[in-house]
Protein backbone atom coordinates (compact mmCIF):
# COMPACT_ATOMS: atom_id res chain seq x y z
CA UNK A 1 0.00 0.00 0.00
CA UNK A 2 0.92 3.65 -0.34
CA UNK A 3 0.99 6.07 2.57
CA UNK A 4 2.07 9.62 3.27
CA UNK A 5 1.39 13.06 4.66
CA UNK A 6 -0.04 15.64 2.27
CA UNK A 7 -0.14 19.34 3.15
CA UNK A 8 -2.83 21.54 1.61
CA UNK A 9 -1.35 25.02 1.31
CA UNK A 10 -2.28 28.29 -0.34
CA UNK A 11 -3.34 31.82 0.37
CA UNK A 12 -6.42 32.51 2.50
CA UNK A 13 -9.78 31.67 0.89
CA UNK A 14 -8.36 29.42 -1.85
CA UNK A 15 -10.65 26.59 -0.73
CA UNK A 16 -8.25 24.28 1.16
CA UNK A 17 -10.69 23.37 3.93
CA UNK A 18 -13.60 22.95 1.52
CA UNK A 19 -11.41 20.57 -0.48
CA UNK A 20 -10.49 18.51 2.58
CA UNK A 21 -14.12 18.20 3.71
CA UNK A 22 -15.21 17.12 0.26
CA UNK A 23 -12.45 14.51 -0.09
CA UNK A 24 -13.43 13.02 3.30
CA UNK A 25 -17.16 13.53 2.67
CA UNK A 26 -17.37 14.81 6.20
CA UNK A 27 -16.83 18.17 7.81
CA UNK A 28 -13.52 18.22 9.62
CA UNK A 29 -12.39 21.78 8.97
CA UNK A 30 -14.51 24.91 9.14
CA UNK A 31 -14.91 27.14 6.07
CA UNK A 32 -16.08 30.69 5.37
CA UNK A 33 -15.60 33.53 2.88
CA UNK A 34 -13.41 35.31 5.46
CA UNK A 35 -9.62 35.00 5.06
CA UNK A 36 -7.71 32.86 7.57
CA UNK A 37 -10.75 30.96 8.76
CA UNK A 38 -8.43 28.05 9.54
CA UNK A 39 -6.16 29.05 12.42
CA UNK A 40 -4.12 25.90 13.09
CA UNK A 41 -3.27 22.79 11.09
CA UNK A 42 -6.09 20.25 10.95
CA UNK A 43 -5.14 16.66 10.27
CA UNK A 44 -7.56 14.13 8.84
CA UNK A 45 -7.07 10.64 7.40
CA UNK A 46 -8.29 9.43 4.02
CA UNK A 47 -8.18 5.69 3.25
CA UNK A 48 -9.14 3.50 0.33
CA UNK A 49 -7.84 0.30 -1.27
CA UNK A 50 -4.78 2.14 -2.55
CA UNK A 51 -3.54 3.21 0.87
CA UNK A 52 -3.67 5.99 3.43
CA UNK A 53 -3.26 9.75 3.11
CA UNK A 54 -2.90 11.94 6.17
CA UNK A 55 -4.06 15.36 5.00
CA UNK A 56 -2.92 18.49 6.79
CA UNK A 57 -5.15 21.48 6.15
CA UNK A 58 -3.16 24.63 6.91
CA UNK A 59 -4.11 28.26 7.58
CA UNK A 60 -3.89 30.51 4.54
CA UNK A 61 -0.72 32.59 4.45
CA UNK A 62 -1.09 36.37 4.71
CA UNK A 63 1.61 38.37 2.93
CA UNK A 64 1.22 41.50 4.99
CA UNK A 65 0.96 40.43 8.57
CA UNK A 66 -1.14 42.96 10.41
CA UNK A 67 -0.97 41.67 13.95
CA UNK A 68 0.53 39.15 16.30
CA UNK A 69 -2.28 36.67 15.81
CA UNK A 70 -1.87 36.33 12.06
CA UNK A 71 1.91 36.22 12.36
CA UNK A 72 1.55 33.27 14.75
CA UNK A 73 -0.92 31.62 12.37
CA UNK A 74 1.42 32.08 9.38
CA UNK A 75 4.23 30.49 11.37
CA UNK A 76 2.11 27.42 12.09
CA UNK A 77 1.70 26.80 8.38
CA UNK A 78 5.43 27.10 7.76
CA UNK A 79 6.12 24.68 10.61
CA UNK A 80 3.54 22.19 9.33
CA UNK A 81 5.27 22.14 5.93
CA UNK A 82 8.72 21.75 7.43
CA UNK A 83 7.67 18.86 9.70
CA UNK A 84 8.10 15.89 7.40
CA UNK A 85 5.47 16.26 4.69
CA UNK A 86 5.61 13.79 1.75
CA UNK A 87 3.73 15.89 -0.80
CA UNK A 88 2.35 19.40 -1.18
CA UNK A 89 -0.94 20.24 -2.82
CA UNK A 90 -0.83 23.94 -3.55
CA UNK A 91 -4.34 25.34 -3.94
CA UNK A 92 -4.99 28.50 -5.96
CA UNK A 93 -8.22 30.38 -6.68
CA UNK A 94 -8.26 31.31 -10.39
CA UNK A 95 -11.06 33.83 -9.84
CA UNK A 96 -8.66 36.14 -7.99
CA UNK A 97 -5.61 37.91 -9.38
CA UNK A 98 -2.22 36.56 -8.47
CA UNK A 99 -0.78 38.82 -5.81
CA UNK A 100 2.07 39.23 -3.41
CA UNK A 101 0.62 36.52 -1.18
CA UNK A 102 1.14 33.95 -3.87
CA UNK A 103 4.85 34.74 -3.95
CA UNK A 104 5.06 34.35 -0.20
CA UNK A 105 3.41 30.92 -0.32
CA UNK A 106 5.58 29.89 -3.28
CA UNK A 107 8.67 30.96 -1.35
CA UNK A 108 7.74 28.62 1.50
CA UNK A 109 6.88 25.76 -0.84
CA UNK A 110 10.14 26.10 -2.79
CA UNK A 111 12.19 25.40 0.33
CA UNK A 112 11.09 21.75 0.45
CA UNK A 113 12.17 19.22 -2.12
CA UNK A 114 9.16 16.89 -2.37
CA UNK A 115 6.50 16.22 -5.03
CA UNK A 116 4.20 19.19 -5.60
CA UNK A 117 0.81 19.36 -7.26
CA UNK A 118 -0.73 22.65 -8.37
CA UNK A 119 -4.48 22.58 -7.76
CA UNK A 120 -6.46 25.22 -9.65
CA UNK A 121 -9.66 25.38 -7.64
CA UNK A 122 -13.14 26.83 -8.20
CA UNK A 123 -13.45 25.78 -11.86
CA UNK A 124 -17.23 25.78 -11.34
CA UNK A 125 -16.83 29.58 -11.55
CA UNK A 126 -16.14 30.60 -15.14
CA UNK A 127 -15.69 34.34 -14.74
CA UNK A 128 -13.77 36.30 -13.71
CA UNK A 129 -10.73 34.14 -14.37
CA UNK A 130 -7.02 34.82 -14.06
CA UNK A 131 -6.04 31.27 -14.90
CA UNK A 132 -3.34 32.41 -17.33
CA UNK A 133 -1.43 34.03 -14.45
CA UNK A 134 -1.44 30.74 -12.56
CA UNK A 135 -0.37 28.75 -15.61
CA UNK A 136 2.98 30.58 -15.33
CA UNK A 137 3.57 28.65 -12.10
CA UNK A 138 3.15 25.26 -13.78
CA UNK A 139 6.81 24.51 -14.36
CA UNK A 140 7.50 24.52 -10.62
CA UNK A 141 5.05 21.63 -10.15
CA UNK A 142 4.98 17.93 -11.01
CA UNK A 143 1.36 18.11 -12.09
CA UNK A 144 -1.48 20.57 -12.51
CA UNK A 145 -5.09 19.67 -11.77
CA UNK A 146 -8.13 21.86 -12.29
CA UNK A 147 -11.01 21.01 -10.00
CA UNK A 148 -13.88 22.29 -7.93
CA UNK A 149 -13.64 21.61 -4.21
CA UNK A 150 -17.23 22.82 -4.01
CA UNK A 151 -18.91 20.53 -6.57
CA UNK A 152 -16.37 17.72 -6.27
CA UNK A 153 -15.49 17.85 -9.97
CA UNK A 154 -12.13 16.14 -10.69
CA UNK A 155 -11.46 15.27 -7.04
CA UNK A 156 -10.67 11.65 -8.07
CA UNK A 157 -7.97 13.02 -10.41
CA UNK A 158 -6.29 14.70 -7.45
CA UNK A 159 -6.43 11.52 -5.37
CA UNK A 160 -4.93 9.54 -8.27
CA UNK A 161 -2.11 12.06 -8.67
CA UNK A 162 -1.38 11.99 -4.93
CA UNK A 163 -1.32 8.19 -4.65
CA UNK A 164 0.91 7.99 -7.74
CA UNK A 165 3.54 10.08 -5.99
CA UNK A 166 3.36 8.74 -2.44
CA UNK A 167 5.90 6.14 -1.28
CA UNK A 168 5.05 2.52 -0.52
CA UNK A 169 4.63 2.12 3.23
CA UNK A 170 2.44 1.02 6.12
CA UNK A 171 -0.47 3.07 7.50
CA UNK A 172 0.71 6.10 9.48
CA UNK A 173 -2.41 6.34 11.66
CA UNK A 174 -4.29 3.33 13.05
CA UNK A 175 -7.91 4.18 12.24
CA UNK A 176 -9.36 0.78 13.19
CA UNK A 177 -10.88 1.97 16.46
CA UNK A 178 -11.74 5.49 15.47
CA UNK A 179 -15.24 6.78 14.93
CA UNK A 180 -14.07 10.12 13.56
CA UNK A 181 -11.87 10.01 10.44
CA UNK A 182 -8.68 10.33 12.47
CA UNK A 183 -8.77 14.01 13.17
CA UNK A 184 -6.53 15.83 15.62
CA UNK A 185 -9.33 17.69 17.44
CA UNK A 186 -11.12 16.51 20.55
CA UNK A 187 -14.86 17.09 20.82
CA UNK A 188 -14.54 20.35 22.77
CA UNK A 189 -12.19 21.79 20.16
CA UNK A 190 -14.42 20.64 17.34
CA UNK A 191 -17.50 22.23 18.93
CA UNK A 192 -15.55 25.45 19.51
CA UNK A 193 -14.61 25.44 15.82
CA UNK A 194 -18.23 25.00 14.69
CA UNK A 195 -19.29 27.95 16.87
CA UNK A 196 -16.40 30.01 15.50
CA UNK A 197 -17.47 29.18 11.95
CA UNK A 198 -20.99 30.45 12.65
CA UNK A 199 -19.53 33.62 14.17
CA UNK A 200 -17.38 34.10 11.03
CA UNK A 201 -20.43 33.60 8.80
CA UNK A 202 -22.71 35.87 10.82
CA UNK A 203 -20.41 38.77 11.69
CA UNK A 204 -19.26 41.35 9.24
CA UNK A 205 -16.00 43.07 8.44
CA UNK A 206 -13.17 42.78 10.92
CA UNK A 207 -15.13 41.45 13.90
CA UNK A 208 -14.17 37.78 13.32
CA UNK A 209 -10.51 38.76 13.77
CA UNK A 210 -11.17 40.05 17.27
CA UNK A 211 -12.63 36.86 18.66
CA UNK A 212 -12.14 33.25 19.50
CA UNK A 213 -14.34 30.53 20.99
CA UNK A 214 -13.87 28.29 24.02
CA UNK A 215 -15.98 25.33 25.15
CA UNK A 216 -16.01 24.92 28.93
CA UNK A 217 -18.34 22.00 29.38
CA UNK A 218 -19.95 19.22 27.37
CA UNK A 219 -22.24 16.88 29.29
CA UNK A 220 -24.89 14.42 28.28
CA UNK A 221 -27.87 14.70 30.59
CA UNK A 222 -30.08 11.79 31.61
CA UNK A 223 -32.83 12.98 29.27
CA UNK A 224 -30.40 12.45 26.34
CA UNK A 225 -29.86 16.16 25.77
CA UNK A 226 -26.29 17.26 25.14
CA UNK A 227 -25.55 20.30 27.24
CA UNK A 228 -22.79 22.58 25.97
CA UNK A 229 -21.42 25.64 27.73
CA UNK A 230 -19.31 27.87 25.52
CA UNK A 231 -17.96 31.39 25.37
CA UNK A 232 -16.98 33.80 22.64
CA UNK A 233 -13.98 35.81 23.80
CA UNK A 234 -13.33 39.18 22.24
CA UNK A 235 -10.84 42.00 22.64
CA UNK A 236 -13.01 45.04 23.40
CA UNK A 237 -16.42 46.20 24.63
CA UNK A 238 -17.45 47.60 21.24
CA UNK A 239 -16.87 44.19 19.64
CA UNK A 240 -18.81 42.50 22.41
CA UNK A 241 -21.72 44.78 21.56
CA UNK A 242 -21.47 43.87 17.87
CA UNK A 243 -21.31 40.14 18.62
CA UNK A 244 -24.39 40.35 20.85
CA UNK A 245 -26.27 42.62 18.42
CA UNK A 246 -29.50 44.52 18.77
CA UNK A 247 -31.84 42.69 21.16
CA UNK A 248 -29.19 39.93 21.26
CA UNK A 249 -30.17 39.00 17.70
CA UNK A 250 -26.62 38.33 16.48
CA UNK A 251 -25.52 36.04 19.30
CA UNK A 252 -28.87 34.26 19.02
CA UNK A 253 -28.26 33.59 15.34
CA UNK A 254 -24.72 32.34 15.98
CA UNK A 255 -26.02 30.06 18.74
CA UNK A 256 -28.99 28.76 16.77
CA UNK A 257 -27.00 27.91 13.62
CA UNK A 258 -24.24 26.26 15.67
CA UNK A 259 -26.78 24.25 17.67
CA UNK A 260 -28.50 23.02 14.51
CA UNK A 261 -25.25 21.78 13.02
CA UNK A 262 -24.16 20.14 16.28
CA UNK A 263 -27.50 18.35 16.51
CA UNK A 264 -27.11 16.94 13.02
CA UNK A 265 -23.48 15.96 13.67
CA UNK A 266 -24.21 14.26 17.00
CA UNK A 267 -27.76 12.96 16.29
CA UNK A 268 -28.68 14.34 19.71
CA UNK A 269 -30.71 17.21 20.97
CA UNK A 270 -28.32 20.01 21.93
CA UNK A 271 -28.71 22.76 24.49
CA UNK A 272 -26.10 25.45 23.88
CA UNK A 273 -25.40 28.08 26.49
CA UNK A 274 -23.37 30.71 24.66
CA UNK A 275 -22.06 33.91 26.23
CA UNK A 276 -19.74 36.72 25.14
CA UNK A 277 -16.88 38.03 27.26
CA UNK A 278 -14.23 40.68 26.87
CA UNK A 279 -10.88 39.10 27.64
CA UNK A 280 -7.68 41.07 27.18
CA UNK A 281 -5.84 37.77 26.71
CA UNK A 282 -8.30 36.34 24.14
CA UNK A 283 -5.52 35.81 21.61
CA UNK A 284 -3.71 33.42 23.98
CA UNK A 285 -6.44 30.87 23.22
CA UNK A 286 -5.60 30.79 19.52
N1 LIG B 1 -17.51 28.48 -6.14
C2 LIG B 1 -16.63 27.85 -5.37
N3 LIG B 1 -16.39 28.30 -4.13
C4 LIG B 1 -15.49 27.63 -3.38
C5 LIG B 1 -14.82 26.46 -3.85
N6 LIG B 1 -13.98 26.04 -2.87
C7 LIG B 1 -14.15 26.89 -1.83
N8 LIG B 1 -15.06 27.84 -2.12
C9 LIG B 1 -15.51 28.95 -1.26
O10 LIG B 1 -14.38 29.77 -0.94
C11 LIG B 1 -14.48 30.27 0.40
C12 LIG B 1 -13.23 29.89 1.16
O13 LIG B 1 -13.18 28.48 1.33
P14 LIG B 1 -12.31 27.80 2.50
O15 LIG B 1 -12.35 26.34 2.24
O16 LIG B 1 -12.71 28.30 3.82
O17 LIG B 1 -10.86 28.39 2.10
P18 LIG B 1 -9.45 28.12 2.83
O19 LIG B 1 -8.43 28.05 1.74
O20 LIG B 1 -9.54 26.97 3.74
O21 LIG B 1 -9.28 29.49 3.61
P22 LIG B 1 -8.43 29.81 4.97
O23 LIG B 1 -8.77 28.79 6.00
O24 LIG B 1 -8.93 31.16 5.32
O25 LIG B 1 -7.00 29.80 4.56
C26 LIG B 1 -15.75 29.66 0.99
O27 LIG B 1 -16.76 30.61 0.90
C28 LIG B 1 -16.01 28.46 0.09
O29 LIG B 1 -17.39 28.12 0.02
C30 LIG B 1 -15.11 26.01 -5.19
O31 LIG B 1 -14.59 25.01 -5.70
N32 LIG B 1 -16.01 26.76 -5.89
MG1 LIG C 1 -9.26 26.87 5.76
Cβ of residue 21 lying under 6 Å from some atom of ligand 1 = no
- Ligand 1 pocket test: which of 8, 17, 18 has the largest number of ligand atoms within 8 Å of its C-beta? 18
| Residue-level pLDDT at 174 | 87
For ligand 1, what atom is nearest to the CA of residue 36?
Answer: 24
Half-sphere exposure of 37 (CA within 13 A, CB side): 23
- Identify the structural domains of the chain with CATH numbers, from first to last: 2-165 (3.40.50.300), 187-285 (3.30.300.20)
Cβ 121 under 6 angstroms from ligand 1: yes
Question: What is the per-residue pLDDT for 182?
Answer: 67
Tell me the CA–centroid distance for residue 22 and ligand 2, in Å.
13
| Dist CA 252 CA 18 (whole Å) | 26
How many Å lie between the centroid of ligand 1 and the Cα of residue 95? 12
Q: Say how many Å lie between the CA of residue 137 and the centre of ligand 1.
A: 21
How much is the pLDDT for 67? Answer: 80
Q: What is the pLDDT of residue 242?
A: 97
pLDDT for the residue 186: 81
More confident residue, 256 or 70: 256
- The helix (H) or strand (E) run that includes residue 54 is strand 51-57
**Mean pLDDT over each residue of the chain, to the nearest integer:** 94
Position 180 confidence tier, pLDDT thresholds 50, 70, 90? low
Pick from 15, 78, 128, 194 the residue to mutate for probing ligand 1's pocket: most ligand atoms within 8 Å of its CB.
15
Alpha helices in the chain (DSSP H): 16-24, 68-82, 100-110, 131-135, 155-165, 187-202, 237-244, 249-266
Amino acid sequence: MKSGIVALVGRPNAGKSTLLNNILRQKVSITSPKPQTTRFPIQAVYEDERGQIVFVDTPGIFAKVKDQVSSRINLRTEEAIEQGVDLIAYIVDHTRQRAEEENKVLGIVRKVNIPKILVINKVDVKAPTHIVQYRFMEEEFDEVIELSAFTGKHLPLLLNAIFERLPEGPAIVDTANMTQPGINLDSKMFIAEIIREKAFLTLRKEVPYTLTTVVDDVAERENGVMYIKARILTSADRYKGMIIGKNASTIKEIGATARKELEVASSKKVYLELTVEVDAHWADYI
